[in-house]
Amino acid sequence: MVILHTLLHGVRIIPPEEIMPYWDEAKKIMEHIDPEDVTFIAAALSLNGLIWSDDRDFERQDKVLCLKTKDLVQLGAHFQAN
């Protein structure tokens, strides 16, 4: 239970009404790459955020920053060193 709590501590559920204003833009970005990823792009756009994924489809767009797991590991190592 402690592990689940720790994992979910930084998770925020984004209500659909916050995502929907970005849906059309996200669809234009991803419809020819992977239509199943539109939701992730719309969510990231709604938060001015980024995506953490090793899915190569996100590399094919340039509107939302996508970090891979290796990027996060390197970033964590950088902060631990400082």
Q: Is residue 7 a part of any domain in this protein?
A: no
pLDDT of res. 28: 98
Q: Is residue 66 a part of any domain in this protein?
A: yes
pLDDT of res. 59: 95
pLDDT of res. 17: 97
- Mean pLDDT, each 10-residue run in order, the chain (82 residues): 82 94 98 97 96 96 96 85 74
> What predicted TM-score, i.e. pTM, was given to this entire model?
0.82
Domain that holds residue 50: 14-81
Q: Is residue 5 a part of any domain in this protein?
A: no
Closest CA to 66 of 79, 76, 53, 82: 53
pLDDT of res. 80: 80
* Domains held by the chain: number: 1
